[in-house]
């Protein structure tokens, strides 16, 4: 009865000393864990302890004889020897717990030590003191003559620190117990109690597994002791070889089943309601994209798959936005407000054309058309953000009282305004300026307003002008940014008057320096 150890796996008592080994007097049953105790050293008394008052009065029971049995005076070594926060008695209990429960069972070792020690605290102390010691496998202060740590901290101060630590952790555990919500009664692990029919979380299995009949091939298979490799031939006999092939097939099916369950658990597919709510918020194109991406979940972790899906969805939205802008350009739409108005009128026109169909309208095969109006094509919100993201703000700030949308439109392709006045290109005598636009002049949108004016007055197509511009800049870089008008005419290989206009325009814009003036 002298030694009482905490049962393995038992919860810590909030009113005690946090588990650990306790010593009880065999006569008066008082707790003598933290005081001096007398232990009988006779072989007839196993773990027989007495408190000092009972020993002084000569009390005895069981097989103990106070007159003849030898004894030991055991004092708790509550002084730091290796670490200033750990006493020698706790160091002994740590080693006893590690020997009894094994390294790695730090929760059981912490319960063995007591004093409200946490498993992470016990693990870190063991690694820092015993494993990472410069004197491994001995602790750093393993020498019996090294008493610097115990001399620096008096016993009374160390005991006061220990009592304060125990009280603080006891209060923290009591406060957490009062604030923690009462757990609800768990439901039975049957298929009818969960979102996914057929799943039993207590067993992490499904009622109908992948290759559910895989066990039928091996349920009656037996291996007798005399089966195996033939000593004479060194190979399996035919029957054993057939059994091994069947077992290989069975293991492959189990592996496939485990892989699918791993994907289900890791990618949170059991949260059926949550996943369906997210899927309903997607457009048809987004749902089709996510359905196509599902096979990649088998080779990706959940965070990587989420990032991969979001990136591809963003790419799809960008492609749709680009397609929409190109459609607007083909319709000769050059502002965002005009594009928004076009999309609204397009949806209204589709709705009107559907409603105009009567109930007696027939398809070519004689089947009546449905009266249900066709839904307008879905456009993802992200696509709208890429095209007309700031349009509602501009319309709300600039709309008139009559509901018109005569606002300052934002061009699709904006050019930064120059801080200086644009040079005026004089017309060429006898040459009528051309009326270029995006339809009859490819790459027209790549020019700024001053370049458009130059190309119109010189009747230069934008694509040849850009080629001339690149050639002139390449030659100018070789000559410190300066060229003569003669050089520009030779490079451009066009009419001398037009070449001169191009040279003067680039000099006025500050792109070239006139080498003839230097």
| CATH code, domain with 485 | 1.10.10.10
- Domain tally for the chain? 3
Tell me the C-alpha distance between 518 and 515, whole Å: 5
pTM of the prediction? 0.37
**Does residue 211 sit within a domain?**
yes
Q: Are residues 94 and 170 in the same domain?
A: yes
Mean pLDDT of 309-336: 88
**Residues 142 and 236 both lie in one domain:** no
- Residue 412, pLDDT > 60, answer no
441-452: average pLDDT? 82
Nearest Cα residue to 47 out of 97, 96, 6, 3:
3
In a domain, 404, yes or no: no
Contact between residue 56 and residue 10 where contact means Cβ atoms under 8 Å apart: no
Give dist(CA 59, CA 56) in Å, integer.
8
My answer on whether 83 and 226 are in the same domain is: no
* Domain assignment of residue 295, yes or no: no
- Do the domain assignments include residue 127? yes
Q: How far is CA 76 from CA 155, 349, 484, in A?
A: 11, 93, 102
In a domain, 342, yes or no: no
Q: 23: part of which helix (H) or strand (E)?
A: strand 22-23
Last residue of a domain, one of 136, 161, 177: 177
Evaluate if residue 218 carries a pLDDT over 80.
yes
Task: Specify the range with the lowest mean pLDDT, choosing from 211-215, 370-374, 379-383.
Answer: 370-374
Whether 232 and 164 share a structural domain:
no
User: Are 114 and 18 in contact, with CB atoms under 8 Å apart?
Assistant: yes
Domain check: are 78 and 33 in the same one? yes
Domain annotation covers residue 71: yes
Does one domain contain both 28 and 127? Answer: yes
In a domain, 312, yes or no: no
Domain end (from 157, 177, 197): 177
99 and 37 within one domain? yes
Q: Six-digit token pair at 5?
A: 């150890």
The confidence band for 375, taking pLDDT boundaries of 50, 70 and 90, is: low
User: What is the separation of C-alpha 390 from the centre of its chain, rounded to a whole number of angstroms?
Assistant: 31
Is 20 in the same domain as 116? Answer: yes
Residue numbers of the domain that contains 68: 3-177
pLDDT of residue 393: 38
The confidence score (pLDDT) of residue 47 equals: 81
Residues 6 or more apart in contact with residue 183 via CB below 8 angstroms: none
pLDDT at 144: 79
- Domain termination site, one of 177, 196, 225: 177
Beta-sheet pairing, 3-4 with 22-23: antiparallel
pLDDT of residue 13: 43
Q: Tell me what pLDDT residue 354 has.
A: 67
Q: Are residues 108 and 231 in the same domain?
A: no
CA distance 145 to 391: 83
Whether the predicted pLDDT of 409 surpasses 50: no
Residue 437 inside a domain? The answer is: no
Say whether both 12 and 62 belong to one domain: yes
Q: Which tokens belong to 113? A: 């030590």
Instruction: Provide the pLDDT for residue 103.
Output: 85
Instruction: Categorize the per-residue pLDDT at 389 as very low, low, confident or very high, splitting at 50, 70 and 90.
Output: low
39-72 pLDDT per residue, tens: 888 888 878 888 888 888 888 887 888 878 888 8
Give the pLDDT band of residue 362 (cuts 50, 70, 90): low
Q: Tokens 């605290």 correspond to what residue? A: 121
């Amino acid at each position: 009865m002298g030694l009482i150890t905490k049962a393995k796996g038992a919860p810590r008592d909030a009113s005690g000393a946090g588990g650990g080994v306790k010593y009880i007097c065999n006569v008066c049953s008082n707790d003598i864990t933290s005081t001096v105790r007398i232990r009988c050293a006779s072989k007839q008394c196993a773990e027989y302890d007495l408190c000092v008052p009972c020993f002084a009065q000569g009390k005895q029971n069981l097989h103990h004889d106070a007159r003849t049995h030898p004894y030991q005076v055991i004092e708790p070594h509550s002084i730091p020897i290796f670490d200033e926060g750990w006493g020698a008695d706790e160091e002994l209990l740590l080693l006893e717990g590690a020997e009894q429960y094994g390294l790695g069972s730090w929760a059981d070792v912490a319960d063995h030590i007591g004093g409200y020690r946490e498993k992470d605290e016990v693990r870190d102390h063991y690694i820092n003191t015993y494993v990472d010691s410069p004197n491994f496998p001995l602790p750093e202060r393993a020498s019996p003559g090294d008493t610097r740590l115990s001399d620096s901290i008096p016993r009374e101060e160390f005991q006061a620190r220990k009592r304060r630590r125990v009280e603080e952790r006891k209060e923290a555990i009591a406060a957490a117990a009062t604030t923690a919500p009462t757990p609800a009664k768990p439901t039975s692990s049957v298929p009818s109690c969960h979102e996914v029919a057929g799943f039993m979380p207590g067993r992490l299995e499904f009622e109908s597994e992948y290759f559910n009949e895989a066990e039928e091939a091996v349920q009656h298979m037996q291996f007798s002791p005399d089966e195996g490799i033939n000593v004479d031939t060194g190979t399996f006999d035919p029957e054993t070889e057939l059994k091994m092939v069947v077992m290989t097939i069975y293991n492959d099916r189990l592996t496939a089943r485990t892989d699918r369950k791993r994907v289900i658990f890791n990618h949170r597919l059991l949260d059926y309601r949550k996943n369906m709510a997210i899927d309903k918020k997607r457009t048809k194109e987004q749902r089709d994209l996510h359905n196509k991406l599902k096979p990649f979940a088998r080779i990706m972790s959940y965070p990587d798959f989420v990032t991969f899906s979001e990136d591809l969805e963003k790419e799809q939205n960008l492609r749709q936005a680009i397609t929409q802008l190109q459609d607007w350009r083909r319709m000769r739409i050059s502002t965002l407000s005009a594009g928004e108005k076009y999309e609204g009128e397009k949806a209204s026109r589709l709705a009107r054309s559907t409603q105009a169909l009567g109930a007696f309208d027939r398809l070519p095969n004689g089947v009546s058309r449905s009266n249900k109006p066709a839904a307008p094509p879905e456009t993802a919100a992200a696509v709208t953000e890429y095209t007309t993201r700031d349009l509602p703000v501009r319309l709300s700030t600039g709309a008139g009282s009559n509901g018109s949308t005569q606002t300052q439109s934002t061009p699709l392709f904006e050019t930064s305004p120059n801080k200086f006045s644009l040079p005026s290109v004089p017309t060429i005598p006898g040459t009528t300026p051309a009326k270029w636009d995006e339809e009859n002049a490819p790459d027209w949108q790549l020019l700024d307003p001053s370049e458009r004016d130059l190309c119109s007055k010189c009747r230069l197509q934008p694509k040849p002008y850009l080629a001339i511009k690149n050639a002139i800049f390449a030659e100018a870089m070789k000559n410190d940014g300066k060229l003569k008008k003669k050089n520009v005419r030779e490079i451009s290989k066009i009419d001398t008057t037009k070449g001169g206009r191009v040279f003067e325009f680039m000099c006025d814009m500050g792109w070239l320096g006139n080498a003839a003036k230097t």
